């Protein structure tokens, strides 16, 4: 193995000499630290797939945190290591450290979280190589042998791939996710509108969703326009559907589990969503998406042909007309690809 860069990436002195004695086939144990919620978790699938190809003889351990286990890609890894997260305040520090150290010695640790817990996990477990993408140089010097640059202006999936690219691994683009599940089959093609988000401040105003869905239902009358609700009070469709309740091709669709949700998303021609994990599930399901952001869209916008974002303005999120334009462009583009 060798380092495949000249500038722009931080390395600890002697790292280049240390990895000369390593080969991809000799690597036997890899740990991937991804202490993150559903959306970030499922995006990790592409990294695991590429790591598996690059290190064919390695046992892959995925380290996650106890309060974020939904969407864990257990189908892609050999072992899941769970550290104590929030909601476990009754656990002693000794027990927390013990659980962290259960990760064990590794040949390579990839820290894909750069959180306080992942940093501690990286610090307390030995590895021949430790690779991460911290925002701060101090973290790089304290924890890692190789630290790749990280920017909120780039899609995080690409930033993760940089850790493999630095070792000369040729990764696929667009990314491959291998998300299991069959697409939902309905009588008519359909578009999904997910109206919820993790917090109310990420929810696009109801009147804009109403206008968008009303306009889309008229422009695309041969599609069903299905509103996917969330489980919180601010994620219900009542206010959105009230102004367009007499529209014949608009309805609500329910999905109570991740498997059901993936099935719904995989069958859609388009998913329109706030900045939320559901949108990431659509991305890994390889369904076209339009994301509605209130700020900083670049970190979670894959620049693949089938994805777009409605850019926020200086005074708030995008207008209904702007989101409609994104949807029309994307549907036109993907329809041409299909035909």
**Residue 202 contacts residue 294 (beta carbons within 8 Å):** yes
Question: How many residues in total does the chain contain?
Answer: 339
- Provide the whole-model pTM: 0.93
pLDDT tens by residue, 133-192: 998 888 999 999 999 999 999 999 999 999 999 999 999 999 999 999 999 999 999 999
**Structure tokens belonging to residue 326:** 């994104």
Helix then strand then coil, in percent of the chain rounded to 5, is 40, 20, 45
3-class DSSP state for residue 298? helix
Query: Running DSSP on this structure, what letter comes out for residue 68?
Result: B
Task: Give the C-alpha distances (Å, rounded to integers) separating 258 from 49, 71, 265.
Answer: 20, 7, 10
Identify the pLDDT of residue 339: 44
**Residue 140 contacts residue 160 (beta carbons within 8 Å):** no
**Nearest alpha carbon to residue 250 among 289, 218, 203, 205:** 218
Query: Running DSSP on this structure, what letter comes out for residue 319?
Result: P
- Taking the C-alpha atoms of residue 314 and residue 34, their distance in angstroms, rounded to an integer, is 33
**Nearest alpha carbon to residue 129 among 8, 18, 3, 17:** 18
Identify the pLDDT of residue 335: 61
* All structural domains of the chain: 10-165 (3.40.50.2000), 190-332 (3.40.50.2000)
Paired with 176 in beta bridges are: none
pLDDT tens by residue, 3-42: 999 888 999 999 999 999 899 999 999 999 999 999 999 9
**Nearest alpha carbon to residue 329 among 202, 56, 337, 217:** 337
Q: Report percent pLDDT > 90 for the chain.
A: 80
């Amino acid at each position: 193995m060798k380092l495949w860069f000249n500038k722009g990436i931080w390395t600890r002195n002697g790292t280049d000499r240390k990895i000369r004695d390593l080969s991809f086939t000799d690597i036997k144990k890899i740990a991937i630290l991804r202490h993150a919620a559903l959306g970030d978790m499922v995006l990790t699938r592409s990294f695991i797939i590429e790591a598996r190809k690059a290190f064919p003889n390695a046992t892959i351990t995925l380290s996650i945190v106890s309060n974020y286990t939904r969407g864990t890609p257990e189908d892609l890894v050999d072992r899941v290591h769970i550290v104590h997260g929030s909601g476990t305040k009754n656990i002693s520090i000794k027990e927390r450290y013990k659980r962290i150290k259960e990760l064990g010695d590794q040949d390579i640790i990839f820290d894909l979280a750069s959180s306080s817990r992942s940093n501690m996990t990286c610090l307390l477990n030995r590895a021949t190589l430790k690779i991460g993408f911290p925002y701060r140089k101090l973290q790089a010097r304290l924890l890692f042998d190789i630290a790749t640059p990280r920017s909120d202006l780039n899609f995080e999936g690409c930033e993760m791939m940089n850790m493999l690219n630095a070792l000369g691994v040729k990764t696929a683009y667009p990314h491959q996710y291998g998300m299991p599940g069959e697409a939902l089959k309905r009588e008519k093609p359909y578009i999904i509108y997910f109206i919820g988000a993790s917090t109310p401040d990420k929810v696009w105003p109801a009147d804009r969703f109403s206008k968008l869905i009303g306009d889309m239902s008229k422009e695309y009358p041969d599609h069903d326009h299905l509103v996917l609700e969330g489980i919180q009070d601010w994620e219900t469709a009542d206010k959105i559907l009230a102004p367009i309740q007499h529209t014949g091709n608009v309805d609500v669709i329910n999905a109570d589990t991740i498997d059901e949700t993936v099935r719904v998303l995989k069958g859609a021609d388009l998913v329109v969503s706030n900045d939320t994990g559901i949108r990431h599930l659509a991305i890994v399901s390889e369904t076209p998406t339009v994301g509605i952001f209130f700020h900083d869209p670049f970190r979670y916008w894959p620049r693949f042909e089938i994805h777009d974002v409605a850019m926020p303005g200086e005074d708030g999120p995008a207008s209904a007309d702007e989101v409609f334009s994104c949807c029309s462009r994307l549907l036109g583009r993907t329809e041409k690809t299909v035909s």
